Structure 1
Amino acid sequence: MTPIDPVALTADLVRCPSITPAEGGALVLLEAVLTKAGFTCTRVDRGGIANLFARWGRQGANRTFGFNGHTDVVPLGDENAWTMPPFGAEIKDGYLYGRGATDMKSGVAAFAAAAVDFVTETPPDGAVILAITGDEEADALDGTTALLDWMKANNEAMSVCLVGEPTSPNEMGEAMKIGRRGSMTAFFTVTGVQGHSAYPHRAKNPMPAMARLMDVLSSHELDQGTDHFDPSSLQVLTIDTGNPATNVTPAQTRATVNIRFNDQHSGASLTAWMQEEADKVAADFGVRVEMRVKISGESFVTPPGDLSDLIASAVEAETGRKPELSTSGGTSDARFVKDHCPVVEFGLVGKTMHQVDERVAVEHVHQLKAIYTHILREYFA
């Protein structure tokens, strides 16, 4: 079988207009490629989201290496600002342009190409699984979680997993991620009594209460960091009152905060702390404070060990760089995989992801396939 060109496969995937939650033909294309190579493929669609599970080898094998990634992409933004067609996959000056070129159709193409070539050339004593979702860039409710739920129900399992998200800030091979911070957002509503600003004793202005609460939350030191994480941070995102009048104190005001937290905290512990502070402010100012919380993911870390050593060794062998063990950045689907098996992330340079004229260095896509192939060879050696 002719080796798969990961750049050509990336281009084919970029030409699929899979703006989340649209499948756009990307998973149909991958299923055809993988089926031809002997993978058993199953569509695991849920909630209108397309997902693909593919396994080469025996179900229940003692050693199963898994890859996870996504083919959905973020919207284009101002399409007129693009200098290259966003779904054209055109190559210029050594870069392949298009939405998803970096995040992360090139990563999916690289691990699919590596997996196909590996099992074709040197069939391993074990199994290789590819779990590919179409719902990473949106709410992620029916993407990787649907795949993992289906795997559990059907006795499918990965021994370890590599998520192919972009991980390097500037140079190929700079960093791999062994964990991620948790992320949560809290929405506050403070309700008082509207009144004339000249007669404050007849009203209960919610604004001072909200200002106090936001100050208390944002000035509090959550921690000083841990062995693997920077200090947690709480950011006030908005305070909205919408009061155009100059002589009326409002009845209600709203605010939103976002917390990125390390493994000293959980979503539940931070929720309890914010609720306690909100209750204090409500009592001090005689207003009502309501809070709604959305937890996008808990903090986690895969302790350095066999999996991270394997990946770091392969990266150094192919790039000459020993990757930093990082936990920076936002959330990824690794936050779901970590409940299934040990998980590490490694992928391309992410400088242009989500930007206009998103692009990937052609050289890096070939290099990434070589790294993934190296990892598979060493894992099954």
Structure 2
Amino acid sequence: MSNSDAIQLTADLIRCPSVTPEEGGALVLLEAMLSSGGFSCTRVDRGDVANLFARWGAKGHARSFGFNGHTDVVPVGDAAAWTANPFGAEIRDGIMFGRGATDMKSGVAAFAAAAVDFVQNTPPDGAVILTITGDEEGDAVDGTTALLEYMKTEGEQMSVCLVGEPTCPNELGDMMKIGRRGSMTAWLTFSGVQGHSAYPHRAKNPLPTMARLMDRLASFELDTGTEHFDASTLAVVTMDTGNSATNVIPAECRATVNIRFNDAHSGASLTRWLQKMAEETALESGIDIAMDIKVSGESFITPPGALSDLVAASVTAETGRVPELSTTGGTSDARFVQAHCPVVEFGLVGKTMHKVDENVPVEQINQLKTIYTRILRDYFA
């Protein structure tokens, strides 16, 4: 009987300094572990990004369960502020410290260990697929997207997928994600004419126009929410001139806004709205406004049904908690997976992710592995 140690695997992964886009040995470690567990493994590296595809069972099987996750982590930040080695996986009072402990090396370790034990102990009639990237915390251009493109080319298919991101706000089992808001950022440049502040009539000051447009955008009610989503939000995240002189009207200033949007909108529809608002303000003021927009991901929803019921039932059976079906939070690689197959997210409590002294209670790693094992068992039952 196999009994893969998810706690030890988490520690081993934390000790891999895999700050985006460095692989740091994490995927090498996982490939060796999964290969020894009977999985067929393929590295799907692209650009500077390392990715791993692993499958147990027949290629192209009509019934396959997929897991998705990432081993890359955000930078440590101020190392002197940590009370533990960020890449040491030190355990104190039952808590493991290290960058990636929560987001999400523990999640990857839990589903990898669960998958190996499951296929060795109770070989299913179907396939188990793991897609693990080293580019979730970065630009996410050559990570899960590369894995999904590889799968399409090779005729590989997940019937459903669970992303192991931390999803619980307070207690293990209190929340799972069935969708995510879309995200987009707009960079605006306002161009006028520089001049002396004592003679404003000889200049064309872009600053009032920037302030006016930012206020209009921030004050606009995009919507009041939809069936599964809260209201969309727009945040002004920076307004800059770089002007240190008090007697100079600047020629140029810049502002950036970030929008998190629900399924009442698309990146394209919000782009048109931003352009319309900018054009109207430019016409009123005579200030030129240029804009660059990046849509990081569209909103999506996996409607409550068989997959969410399966995951929720397993969570409740192992924790005694009924998880809330949520679409809150930022973006994740589920935004890419949703175009391939139905996808939900469930993982650990995310209170310390990206923080100094990021940590995870070691007992929760085993709990998570047990939940993932039950999900696999019940899916193939």
| TM-score, scaled relative to structure 1 | 0.99
SS at match of 2:184: strand
Alignment of 1:60-209 (within 5 A): 60-209=60-209
Residue of structure 1 in register with 2:331 after alignment: 331
SS at match of 2:171: coil
Residue of structure 2 in register with 1:17 after alignment: 17
Residue 294 of structure 1 and its aligned partner are, at CA, apart by 1.1
Residue 201 of structure 1 and its aligned partner are, at CA, apart by 1.7
Residue of structure 1 in register with 2:347 after alignment: 347
Distance 1:259 1:201 in 2: 36
SS at match of 1:102: coil
SS at match of 1:234: strand
Residue of structure 2 in register with 1:285 after alignment: 285
CA offsets, 1:234-259, max 9 Å, x none?
01111101111222211111000000
Residue of structure 2 in register with 1:252 after alignment: 252
Residue 34 of structure 1 and its aligned partner are, at CA, apart by 0.6
Distance 1:172 1:270 in 2: 36
Residue 2 of structure 1 and its aligned partner are, at CA, apart by 3.2
8 Å CA contact 2:2, 2:120 repeated in 1:
no
Structure 2 counterpart of 1:34, one-letter code: L
Note if 1:309 corresponds to 2:309.
Answer: yes
Gapped runs of 5+ residues in structure 2? Answer: none
Residue of structure 2 in register with 1:53 after alignment: 53
Structure 2 counterpart of 1:85, one-letter code: N
Note if 1:228 corresponds to 2:228.
Answer: yes
Gapped runs of 5+ residues in structure 1? Answer: none
SS at match of 2:119: helix
8 Å CA contact 2:44, 2:51 repeated in 1:
yes
Note if 1:33 corresponds to 2:37.
Answer: no
CA offsets, 1:211-233, max 9 Å, x none?
11101100000000011111001
Distance 1:41 1:246 in 2: 62
Structure 1 counterpart of 2:60, one-letter code: G
Residue 196 of structure 1 and its aligned partner are, at CA, apart by 1.5
SS at match of 1:67: strand
CA offsets, 1:83-135, max 9 Å, x none?
01111111111111111011000000000000000000010000000000000
Residue 195 of structure 1 and its aligned partner are, at CA, apart by 1.2
Residue 62 of structure 1 and its aligned partner are, at CA, apart by 1.1
Distance 1:72 1:212 in 2: 40
Structure 2 counterpart of 1:238, one-letter code: T
CA offsets, 1:243-296, max 9 Å, x none?
112222111110000001000011111111010010111111111100000111
Distance 1:376 1:198 in 2: 73
Distance 1:355 1:248 in 2: 41
Distance 1:184 1:281 in 2: 21
Residue 197 of structure 1 and its aligned partner are, at CA, apart by 1.6
Distance 2:66 2:55 in 1: 9
Answer with 84-93 or 121-130: which moved more.
84-93
CA RMSD of aligned residues (A): 0.7
CA offsets, 1:301-322, max 9 Å, x none?
1000000000000000000000
Distance 1:236 1:125 in 2: 51
Structure 2 counterpart of 1:39, one-letter code: F
- Aligned residues with identical type, % of pairs: 73
SS at match of 1:49: coil
Residue 368 of structure 1 and its aligned partner are, at CA, apart by 0.3
| TM-score, scaled relative to structure 2 | 0.99
Distance 2:81 2:212 in 1: 42
CA offsets, 1:352-379, max 9 Å, x none?
0111111001111000000000000000
8 Å CA contact 2:2, 2:121 repeated in 1:
no
Residue of structure 2 in register with 1:379 after alignment: 379
CA offsets, 1:317-346, max 9 Å, x none?
000000000111100000000000000000
Residue 152 of structure 1 and its aligned partner are, at CA, apart by 0.3
Distance 2:244 2:90 in 1: 50
Residue of structure 1 in register with 2:318 after alignment: 318
Paired residues, number: 381
Residue of structure 2 in register with 1:266 after alignment: 266
Structure 1 segments (4+ residues) deviating >6 Å: none
CA offsets, 1:39-62, max 9 Å, x none?
000000001110000000000111
SS at match of 1:190: strand
8 Å CA contact 2:16, 2:25 repeated in 1:
yes
Structure 2 counterpart of 1:52, one-letter code: L
SS at match of 1:125: coil
